[in-house]
Structure 1
């Protein structure tokens, strides 16, 4: 009789592991709260439509979350001109940071690099120039000669480097991009989109923070020639710290700019404007709109505890529960206090439990719209209890299920 009872207890209790508690509000202490002295708007800001720009296409993206704040013709394939060099510099920096090349390595300048027209760093055929100087020549001076020299150094020849550019574009998710050369020199089929360039800009900022400050340098002096960075916003707005300009007759005047204010960084891509001053002015409009009406808000940090729960048949009777990854959102200003977060935690949690084991989920909504649905996981391991402790808990679960 006792053996049958024990068998029944073990059988019934094993079927309870996946039941969930009804959704419960997250304690207010885990929700974002205003810092001391911060004025919290009681009413949401009325957000107007994004500005209409005198540009062929544009996009404004939160660099942290990837959320699109404003866009127009952002997926139209367009010639990128020297914005192409963003991919070239991304690949060179990637080679440096992965230890495949060094900044002080000397690069032989080929006839092909020396003969490049358009924007130039003015390197000389047969000389040697360091990788870091050439990289500055690409980013600050937009040198076609410097770009080809680096492409040849990294991959042996420019064609092989371009293959690497296209492979990397595909890996990053730049689905409407194809490169024919490393510089942006006009070529049939050499096309990208504002949206894809925003993806690339995010990768430059987030993947290579050590070298990103180069994009904010206003001048570079080489070969007795001092050339300015063509990004006019570097001199107009101290919060702007990159990224790249481009211009050809076919592409018009283009600019990818990034600006950070407090905890929010936006990337603006503007393509096909009519002048150097116009691309700067239109980009300013876009950035001003983003910072006026939106902000980046971190709700939870990876590993942050949000709750704890009873553990059955474990050496300890409680497990701490938390969020496995950072939860960061782009929100309209003044709306963070309107977020509604709820936890759904497994009703029966039995040992053994591994760190990171999923034991529920957390949802965050704004005005009924689901913004976040993330797992709730164990922040600590819990080992099984001894035989008699497990037996006692299984008996408790058996009768709990019997009378529930």
Structure 2
């Protein structure tokens, strides 16, 4: 029996009469004066532009994005609290480079240290956080590498929490984009910290070094970095009209360059691409036939929202087909995969996503199961 194929023609602007539509013409992306860079859709994870994005480079203070991610992870687990009073060690106090100017022996609220780390890029605040979570910075670095592996960051190795120059400490633009995306999507409650323009501690007011926070109202994060070896780096994110993009630019020549080159990449992405929500979590796309069940049909849909990154001109001109499993038999549990949706053409498949049972179906009685088997047998003869 052939796989059941249902053509969807009315769902959220996806049409089936545009298979032969002319493809969008998109210019080549800008070439940036940077060693490595990437442009990623924050919601789908799709990579729109990349250049040397998997090259292992010193990440400087972009490292703090991983430290912040782990902090937010531990907060979500309930293992630490933003109200925790963190004792500042001599090591933290003596840290060089960017500082929050915390004093040795004082007890500082964790939230204050997070602001110092994210807004001021304070190395002292960062080390204090690492020690609070893992006991020592070296133990925290082990934790960073474990989380990097779980996130799929294949080109990173961390030996400290700050990005202070050290042998065998490296990452990639791609990996930094991955942890930035995880921060945005997994811990949105803490994300407003990345948009703060100033933070004052110990009567010292310092600005966020991300120039785009002042230049582009759509930009709301994330982090700068700079060392002599790394050059000037910036991980930025912005949202416009429901589309959120992430850029990571590494190895530019100046503070101004990292901002202007990141802006070029963001403007290109928003000009030519958009994130489209095709289907919602729990949306019913079919009532599929069930054999041998206590009911004859089961509602089929999606376990999560279905998002896709598309060229703007193509957003309303893609076909979609729903391919159901040929024989669906009870019992069925919520979440059982019963088929898949395919968006795009045979030559250009944009997305494939499983469709699942949205309700349980128990087995029917003996006579119901027997009757359905007989009926199914004769149907398969033809």
Q: Tell me the TM-score normalized by structure 2.
A: 0.93
1:161 counterpart residue number: 140
CA distance in 2, matches of 1:78, 1:144: 20
CA distance in 1, matches of 2:72, 2:378: 63
CA distance in 1, matches of 2:192, 2:79: 21
1:69 counterpart residue number: 48
2:63 counterpart residue number: 84
1:302 counterpart residue number: 281
1:5 counterpart residue number: none
Q: Which has the larger radius of gyration?
A: 1
2:173 counterpart residue number: 194
> What runs of 5+ residues in structure 2 fail to find an aligned partner?
16-20
Equivalent pair of 2:14/2:317 in contact (CA under 8 Å): no
Equivalent pair of 1:45/1:293 in contact (CA under 8 Å): no
1:334: Cα distance to partner?
A: 1.5
CA distance in 2, matches of 1:22, 1:97: 43
1:352: Cα distance to partner?
A: 3.2
Partner secondary structure for residue 138 of structure 2:
helix
What value does the CA root-mean-square deviation take over the aligned residues? 1.9
CA distance in 2, matches of 1:346, 1:164: 43
Tell whether 2:250 aligns with 1:271: yes
CA distance in 2, matches of 1:116, 1:178: 21
Partner secondary structure for residue 178 of structure 1:
coil
CA distance in 2, matches of 1:256, 1:394: 59
Change (3 A) 1:363 1:115: same
Tell whether 2:7 aligns with 1:25: yes
Which among 367, 371, 387 is matched to residue 366 of structure 2? 387
1:60: Cα distance to partner?
A: 0.4
Change (3 A) 1:224 1:363: same
2:343 counterpart residue number: 364
2:272 counterpart residue number: 293
CA distance in 1, matches of 2:85, 2:326: 64
1:153: Cα distance to partner?
A: 1.6
Tell whether 2:158 aligns with 1:176: no
1:367: Cα distance to partner?
A: 6.5
Change (3 A) 1:391 1:294: same
1:109 counterpart residue number: 88
1:113: Cα distance to partner?
A: 1.2
> What runs of 5+ residues in structure 1 fail to find an aligned partner?
1-18, 35-41
CA distance in 1, matches of 2:123, 2:81: 21
Q: Tell me the TM-score normalized by structure 1.
A: 0.88
1:179: Cα distance to partner?
A: 1.3
